[in-house]
């Protein structure tokens, strides 16, 4: 108490120090708070000690409460001191309330020492709901053990807290299974659609005790089957029979009690099976072990050995290599062997601790020593490498067969290719690249041929061989007889005449290129200028189809026929045009590929490639049916759903088809042709390019090897590239279908915000049933003035009363709606309807059917649709504010405002951020139309219809976007209502001004009756008024200097608003005069003298009323929020809100009612350790 005497000592000294930041009173408060907090911490530590020191803890907490109450009673001389002391006072007040409430609970809970030592996680075991009664009876009244949990605790020595924990766990699990047993009886049935007319009677039905007990027994059977499925497999693996007791619930309880104390050994499921197997026969032994015996004699010895291995060090003190440390998997492997059956739960620790003389474990050995090296990756992916190698060889065989069947590469017919002899022809793998004749060409002496080369064909069109030779690309054309007078016998002779320059570089479509060049040149016709030797020019017509028909026929035969030196394009040219002419081309080509009567070795190469594919299939089948290791993964009873398996298989089939097609067409086939060319070329031509290689000249074999090495590496890796490409393509389609990332930016979130509540209800609110919208729109036969009310959604449960208990998801605005509904003028706002309120919007449960929701509040059917999402949205924003992700202003702008009064007419108000930037757009439209109206009004020739058309156009432009209407009407209503509340009854005459403005709006005569040139000025004045009200200090007295300053600022702001009203009502002289007289009115708001307290009272009426301040805040938000304020500044805040909204649009299962959801699992977290 000396501290208090010191605080009341020298008053002058205190006054002298009050000027500083830390006065004597504040220092005393801080010291008393620190002393009390040290006592609280000490008391809590004594409560949590083992055993707890309840008496000493209570004494320290009592002393702490006394010191805090003394500190709270300290009086401060100035308001600054009081403001500085508020933080610690609030902290101490919270602790005092918390300690006193804990005392009250402990007294109510009873107990010998006034403190309830028994705590619960979820359920209060002394006051269980009726739904848990059957399961509790089964646990407490077993025919075999009586109270199952207590009996097992005494028999095996489980800990008391663990038993209570697992008993609660079993209650939750079994009750959940009991409730589900009444739906499907444990069998898989086809899902039936629930009746939308399901009512509360189905959920609050009278429970039949006998039926409930039968359902509980069925739930026990189902849970028993699920829990012990792995135990049965383990018993089968170690050749043992399950040792279940006569009561299935006893088996379940024993397993969960073992599981509850197993700690990190839960990661060893076979260890739990062993413990259960050894303990089940002893459940009826009737032991009387002390609590903690099982932990001390079974779990702790095993864990001590595991901990010893985990902490093993080298001689230098470093952590031992992982190959020398046994981890959980190594210990668990021991329980897969029959050796474990020699032990039981009492001596299993001895097996763990059995070492030889060198300190190596003798019984529980390390079963897997991983050798970490770069070769491990190659060995692990050996199946992929082997399959890619087999596919490479198969593609190579297919390419060789195709190259020999379709020898359309021009490089094999050039001069660089070395024939086997001077008189022979080039032959590779049995394929001859030239005709086997003594002469390279056949001379034709037929008369028709001489006619063909005659350049003078008489009257009419004629053949121009020079032009034909130019078209074909003939390099040296002297005369037609020299070029076309002989018939080529093979493609080697043909390419000497026609070089096919544009076709040589092609890798695909060579046959088509050859044919296109020949067909284009021989089908050319038209007129040309002929220059004679004398210099005269004459125009002649030509038709190249008349040129050398025999030569053309021979060329087509070389290109299409099959044989030595021929290209066989008749079978190999596969394109849309050729397939349209002859659809059987593909079959002809396939038959040619597998024709073993061919002279070349192409079919044998194809057969070798097919053998590689067959080898891969045989190896896979052998691995799948005969080798568990060869599969490349672990897990024996892990079936894959057929749909998933088919989708997975089809994906990889498509991927490898694309890969093989690409590799064959652009890699392998081209390299095969190049290899054949290099193999047949002169070796000395390539030695100068291979100085860095071995100088081996045998068919350039080293050069060929280095050509194939990069291609082989690309073939092994390019599956990853195609996988990435196909994943992007497939993932894009899947993402669009799943609607992932539907809201790509916060701007899109704003645009679709009003449709989110409907999606939220469909996904997360199962007790709301909406009528499905009809696809076809019905014509509305009612009058246009009839209001089309939206149907009330059907709820399956009773409407939850919000008047009882805490309402954490509700913003407390008890008087918000009542203050806004002082005047029955909602019809004025209902006149403004936007065209967005269609039937489709009704089906999507959006609030766009009417654009006045943010003004008059959402109620009725729309309230029922929106309230679930609004509460969740507000809670999400609250969590962001607590994490300091968003600011207070952002919280206010983004939040719904919800009435907490529990009435039928309860309302909510959408967030103000939806109208961000819309007020500026609306004002711009109004000012533009107003300027045009005033301009045309001066023209006497303009009639009233033209002026009225401007008014109509302005309304149409505003109503195109419902947010524009919400912004401008909302700003007016909230601002005018604040002005009404502030000025009060003494200024009721201003209602005439409001009524006139609203009457002009309802009669569509705004431009005629009002002057709207200064709307931006009015907006700024109204915003300044709202800001000045919000800055008034709360709970301040009239004599406070801060309050007086704020009062004068508010009065000045009100005068500015009145002046703006004069400008708007400038066309109405009587109203302007009334506004001029308003500040001069006696006993009014504008005379805050010493004897006049009306202004102070009115201002305090708003400042001290939370609901009135909500209206002021809402008005300020609507007036000032812009696009910059429409989204959180923090990128993290925007990301979280987008993710929350995006998750609602994703394709996910619909929420089930609570009674159908799986129960919670009471699980102790794992101990964090290095494994």
* CATH number of the domain to which 93 belongs: 1.20.58
Instruction: Grade residue 1153 by pLDDT with cuts at 50, 70 and 90.
Output: low
E strand segments, 718-852: 768-769, 794-795
Percent of the chain with pLDDT over 90: 14
Q: Are the C-beta atoms of 925 and 973 separated by less than 8 Å?
A: no
pLDDT at 451 over 60: no
pLDDT at 776 over 50: no
Please report whether residue 446 resides in a domain.
Answer: yes
What are the tens digits of pLDDT across the range 24-48? Answer: 888 888 888 888 888 988 888 887 7
Where does residue 909 rank: exposed (0-12), middle (13-18), buried (19+ CB within 10 A)? buried
| Mean pLDDT (whole number) for 299-310 | 87
Is there a single domain that holds both residue 17 and residue 154? no
Is there a single domain that holds both residue 66 and residue 157? no
| Mean pLDDT (whole number) for 162-188 | 77
| Mean pLDDT (whole number) for 165-193 | 70
What DSSP letter does each residue of 150-210 carry, written as one string? HHHHHHHT--HHHHHHHHHHHHHHHHHHHHHHHHHTTS--PPPPPPTT--GGGTSPPPPHH
Total length of the chain:
1171
Which pLDDT does position 779 carry in this prediction? 44
Is there a single domain that holds both residue 758 and residue 867? yes
Is there a single domain that holds both residue 1000 and residue 1099? yes
Domain boundary among 515, 536, 567: 567
Element containing residue 898 per DSSP (H, E): strand 897-898
| Mean pLDDT (whole number) for 863-876 | 87
Is there a single domain that holds both residue 897 and residue 1025? no
pLDDT at 415 over 70: yes
Q: Are the C-beta atoms of 397 and 606 separated by less than 8 Å?
A: yes
| Mean pLDDT (whole number) for 636-648 | 79
3-state class (DSSP) for residue 1024:
helix
pLDDT at 671 over 90: yes
pLDDT at 490 over 60: yes
Instruction: Grade residue 1160 by pLDDT with cuts at 50, 70 and 90.
Output: low
The structure tokens listed for 1118 are 């609507």
pLDDT at 548 over 80: yes
Q: How far is CA 529 from CA 460, 523, 537, 538, 546, in A?
A: 15, 19, 6, 6, 19
Tokens 């024996």 -> residue? 636
Instruction: Grade residue 11 by pLDDT with cuts at 50, 70 and 90.
Output: very low
Instruction: Grade residue 279 by pLDDT with cuts at 50, 70 and 90.
Output: very high
pLDDT at 705 over 80: yes
Alpha carbon distance 168, 124 (integer Å): 9
Which pLDDT does position 287 carry in this prediction? 81
Q: Are the C-beta atoms of 763 and 742 separated by less than 8 Å?
A: no
The larger pLDDT score, comparing residue 193 to residue 1047, is at 1047
Instruction: Grade residue 1042 by pLDDT with cuts at 50, 70 and 90.
Output: confident
Instruction: Grade residue 780 by pLDDT with cuts at 50, 70 and 90.
Output: very low
Is there a single domain that holds both residue 1025 and residue 1141? no
Is there a single domain that holds both residue 958 and residue 1085? yes
Is there a single domain that holds both residue 839 and residue 944? no
Is there a single domain that holds both residue 1105 and residue 987? yes
Q: Are the C-beta atoms of 70 and 4 separated by less than 8 Å?
A: yes
Instruction: Grade residue 1021 by pLDDT with cuts at 50, 70 and 90.
Output: very high
Alpha carbon distance 172, 1119 (integer Å): 53
| Mean pLDDT (whole number) for 94-111 | 68
Q: How far is CA 479 from CA 442, 494, 532, 866, in A?
A: 18, 17, 17, 91
Which pLDDT does position 817 carry in this prediction? 56
The larger pLDDT score, comparing residue 259 to residue 1085, is at 259
Q: How far is CA 838 from CA 102, 835, 845, in A?
A: 56, 7, 11
Q: How far is CA 518 from CA 468, 472, 481, 547, 641, in A?
A: 10, 7, 19, 12, 57
Task: Tell me the range of 163-177, 409-423, 454-468 where mean pLDDT is highest.
Answer: 163-177
The structure tokens listed for 1061 are 């009203």
Which pLDDT does position 1159 carry in this prediction? 64
pLDDT at 731 over 60: yes
SS (H, E, C) 521-578: HHCCEEEEEEECCCCCEEEEEEEHHHCCHHHHHHHHHHHHCCCCCCCCHHHHCCCHHH
State the average pLDDT for the chain. Answer: 78
The larger pLDDT score, comparing residue 69 to residue 1, is at 69
| Mean pLDDT (whole number) for 822-845 | 42
Please report whether residue 765 resides in a domain.
Answer: yes
Is-cis flag, bond preceding 40, omega within 30? no
Instruction: Grade residue 1145 by pLDDT with cuts at 50, 70 and 90.
Output: confident
Q: Kindly report which listed range (47-61, 180-194, 604-618) carries the lowest average pLDDT score.
A: 180-194
Is there a single domain that holds both residue 911 and residue 922? no
What DSSP letter does each residue of 776-813 carry, written as one string? SPPP--S-TTS--PPPPPEESSPPPPSSSS--TTS---
The larger pLDDT score, comparing residue 523 to residue 804, is at 523
The larger pLDDT score, comparing residue 107 to residue 360, is at 360
Instruction: Name the domain count of the chain.
Output: 5
Query: Within a 10 A sphere around the Cβ of 393, how many other Cβ atoms?
Result: 17
Instruction: Grade residue 803 by pLDDT with cuts at 50, 70 and 90.
Output: very low
The structure tokens listed for 23 are 């006065």
Please report whether residue 596 resides in a domain.
Answer: no
What are the tens digits of pLDDT across the range 597-635? Answer: 888 899 999 999 999 999 988 887 887 777 655 555 555
Task: Tell me the range of 356-360, 665-669, 1103-1107 where mean pLDDT is highest.
Answer: 665-669
Element containing residue 442 per DSSP (H, E): strand 441-443
The larger pLDDT score, comparing residue 857 to residue 57, is at 57
Q: What is the DSSP letter of 443?
A: E
Closest CA to 148 of 243, 275, 259, 257: 257
Is there a single domain that holds both residue 452 and residue 508? yes
Percent of the chain with pLDDT over 70: 78
Closest CA to 249 of 177, 199, 302: 177
Which pLDDT does position 782 carry in this prediction? 44
Please report whether residue 369 resides in a domain.
Answer: no
Domain boundary among 295, 322, 349: 322
- Max Cα separation, the chain? 143
Q: Are the C-beta atoms of 562 and 572 separated by less than 8 Å?
A: no
The larger pLDDT score, comparing residue 854 to residue 1016, is at 1016
Please report whether residue 419 resides in a domain.
Answer: no
Which pLDDT does position 111 carry in this prediction? 42
pLDDT at 1056 over 80: yes
Is there a single domain that holds both residue 229 and residue 270? yes
Please report whether residue 1051 resides in a domain.
Answer: yes
Which pLDDT does position 9 carry in this prediction? 39
Please report whether residue 394 resides in a domain.
Answer: no
| Mean pLDDT (whole number) for 1125-1136 | 86
Alpha carbon distance 616, 159 (integer Å): 57
Please report whether residue 979 resides in a domain.
Answer: yes
Give residue 975's domain range: 918-1120
The structure tokens listed for 663 are 């590799």
Which pLDDT does position 12 carry in this prediction? 36
């Amino acid at each position: 108490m000396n501290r208090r005497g010191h605080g009341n000592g020298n008053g002058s000294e205190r006054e002298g120090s009050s000027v500083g930041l830390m006065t004597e009173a504040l220092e005393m408060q801080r010291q008393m708070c620190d002393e009390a907090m040290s006592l609280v911490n000490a008391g809590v530590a004594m409560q949590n000690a083992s055993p707890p020191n309840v008496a000493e803890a209570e004494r320290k907490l009592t002393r702490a409460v006394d010191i805090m109450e003394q500190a709270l009673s300290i009086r401060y001389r100035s308001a600054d001191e009081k403001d500085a002391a508020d933080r610690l006072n609030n902290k101490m007040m919270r602790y005092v309330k918390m300690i006193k409430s804990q005392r009250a609970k402990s007294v109510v809970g009873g107990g010998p020492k006034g403190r309830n030592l028994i705590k619960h996680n979820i359920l209060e075991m002394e006051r269980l709901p009726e739904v848990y009664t059957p399961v509790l009876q089964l646990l407490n009244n077993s025919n075999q053990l009586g109270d199952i949990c207590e009996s097992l605790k005494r028999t095996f020595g489980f800990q008391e807290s663990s038993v209570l924990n697992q008993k609660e766990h079993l209650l939750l699990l079994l009750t959940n299974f009991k409730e589900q047993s009444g739906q499907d009886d444990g069998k898989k049935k086809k899902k039936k659609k629930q009746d939308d007319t399901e009512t509360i009677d189905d959920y609050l039905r009278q429970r039949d005790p006998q039926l409930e007990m039968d359902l509980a027994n069925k739930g026990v059977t189902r849970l028993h089957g699920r829990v012990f499925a792995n135990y049965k497999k383990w018993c089968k693996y170690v050749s043992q029979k399950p040792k279940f007791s006569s009561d299935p619930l006893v088996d379940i309880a024993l397993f969960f009690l073992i599981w509850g104390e197993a700690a990190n050994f839960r990661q060893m499921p076979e260890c739990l099976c062993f413990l259960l197997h050894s303990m089940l026969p002893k459940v009826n032994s009737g032991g009387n072990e002390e609590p903690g015996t099982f932990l001390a004699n079974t779990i702790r010895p095993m864990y001590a050995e595991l901990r010893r291995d985990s902490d093993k060090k080298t001689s230098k003190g470093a952590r031992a290599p992982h190959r020398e440390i046994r981890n959980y998997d190594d210990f668990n492997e021991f329980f897969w062997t029959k050796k474990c059956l020699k032990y039981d739960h009492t001596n299993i620790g001895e097996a763990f601790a059995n070492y030889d003389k060198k300190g190596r474990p003798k019984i529980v050995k390390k079963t897997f020593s991983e050798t970490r090296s770069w070769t491990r990756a190659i060995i692990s992916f050996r199946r992929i490498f082997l399959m890619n190698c087999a596919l490479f060889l198969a593609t190579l065989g297919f390419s060789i067969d195709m190259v020999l069947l379709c020898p359309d590469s021009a490089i094999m017919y050039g001069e660089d290719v070395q024939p086997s002899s001077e008189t022979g022809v080039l032959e590779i793998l049995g394929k001859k690249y030239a005709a086997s004749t003594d002469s390279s060409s056949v001379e034709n002496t037929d008369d028709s041929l001489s006619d063909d080369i005659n350049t003078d064909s008489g009257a009419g069109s004629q053949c121009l061989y020079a032009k034909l030779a130019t078209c074909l690309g003939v390099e040296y054309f002297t005369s037609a007889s020299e070029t076309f007078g002989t018939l080529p016998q093979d493609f080697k002779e043909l390419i000497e005449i026609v070089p096919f320059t544009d076709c040589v570089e092609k890798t695909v479509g060579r046959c088509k290129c050859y044919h296109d060049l020949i067909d284009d040149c021989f089908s050319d016709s038209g007129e040309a200028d002929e220059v004679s030797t004398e210099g005269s020019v004459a125009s002649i017509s030509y038709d190249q189809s008349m040129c050398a028909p025999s030569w053309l026929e021979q060329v087509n035969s070389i290109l299409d026929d099959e044989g030595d030196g021929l290209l066989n394009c008749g079978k190999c040219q596969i394109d849309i045009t050729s397939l349209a002419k002859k659809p059987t081309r593909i079959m002809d080509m396939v038959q040619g590929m597998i024709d073993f009567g061919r002279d070349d070795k192409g079919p044998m190469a194809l057969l070798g490639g097919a053998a590689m594919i067959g080898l891969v299939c045989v190896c896979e089948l052998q691995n799948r049916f005969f080798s568990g290791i060869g599969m490349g993964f672990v897990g024996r009873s892990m079936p894959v759903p057929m749909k998933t398996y088919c989708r997975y298989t089809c994906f990889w089939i498509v991927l490898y088809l694309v890969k093989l097609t690409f590799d064959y067409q652009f890699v392998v086939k081209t390299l095969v042709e190049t290899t054949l060319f290099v193999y047949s070329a002169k070796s000395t031509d390539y030695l100068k390019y291979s100085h860095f290689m071995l100088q081996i000249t045998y068919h350039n074999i080293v050069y060929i090897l280095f050509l194939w090495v990069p291609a082989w590496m690309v073939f092994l890796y390019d599956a990853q590239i195609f996988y990435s490409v196909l994943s992007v393509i497939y993932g894009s389609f899947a993402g669009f279908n799943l609607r992932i990332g539907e809201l790509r930016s916060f701007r899109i979130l704003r645009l679709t915000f009003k449709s989110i509540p409907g999606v939220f209800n469909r996904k997360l609110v199962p007790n709301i049933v909406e009528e499905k919208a009809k696809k076809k729109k019905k014509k509305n036969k009612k009058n246009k003035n009839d209001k089309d009310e939206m149907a009330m959604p059907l709820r399956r449960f009773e409407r939850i009363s919000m008047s009882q208990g805490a309402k954490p998801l509700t913003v407390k605005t008890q008087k918000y709606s009542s203050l806004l509904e002082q005047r029955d003028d909602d019809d004025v706002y209902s006149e403004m309807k936007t065209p967005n309120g269609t039937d489709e919007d009704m089906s999507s449960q959006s609030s766009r059917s009417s654009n006045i929701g943010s003004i008059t509040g959402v109620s009725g059917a729309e309230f029922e649709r929106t309230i679930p999402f609004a509460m969740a949205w507000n809670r999400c924003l609250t969590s962001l504010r607590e994490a300091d992700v968003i600011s207070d202003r952002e919280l206010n702008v983004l939040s719904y405002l919800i009435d907490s009064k529990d009435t039928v007419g309860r309302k909510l108000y959408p967030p103000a951020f939806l109208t961000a930037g819309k007020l500026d757009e609306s004002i711009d439209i109004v000012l533009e139309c107003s300027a045009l109206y005033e301009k045309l009004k001066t023209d006497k020739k303009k009639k009233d219809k033209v002026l009225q058309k401007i008014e109509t156009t302005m309304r149409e432009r505003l109503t195109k976007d419902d947010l524009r209407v919400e912004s401008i009407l909302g700003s007016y209503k909230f601002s005018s209502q604040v002005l009404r509340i502030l000025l009060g009854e003494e200024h009721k005459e201003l209602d005439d001004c409001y009524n006139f403005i609203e009457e002009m709006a309802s009669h569509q005569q705004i431009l005629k009756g009002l002057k709207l040139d200064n709307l931006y000025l009015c907006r700024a004045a109204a915003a300044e008024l709202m800001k000045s009200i919000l800055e008034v200090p709360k709970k301040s007295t009239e004599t406070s200097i801060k309050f007086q300053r704020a009062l004068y600022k508010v009065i000045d702001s009100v005068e500015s608003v009145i002046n703006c009203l004069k400008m708007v009502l400038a066309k109405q002289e009587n109203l302007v005069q009334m506004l001029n007289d308003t500040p001069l009115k006696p006993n009014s708001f504008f005379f805050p003298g010493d004897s006049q307290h009306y202004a102070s009272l009115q201002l305090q009426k708003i400042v001290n009323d939370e609901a009135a301040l909500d209206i002021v805040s809402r008005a300020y938000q609507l007036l000032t929020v812009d696009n910059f304020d429409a989204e959180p500044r923090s990128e993290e805040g925007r990301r979280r809100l987008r993710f929350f909204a995006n998750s609602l649009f994703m394709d996910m299962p619909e929420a089930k009612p609570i009674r159908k959801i799986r129960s919670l699992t009471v699980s102790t977290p794992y101990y964090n350790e290095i494994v």
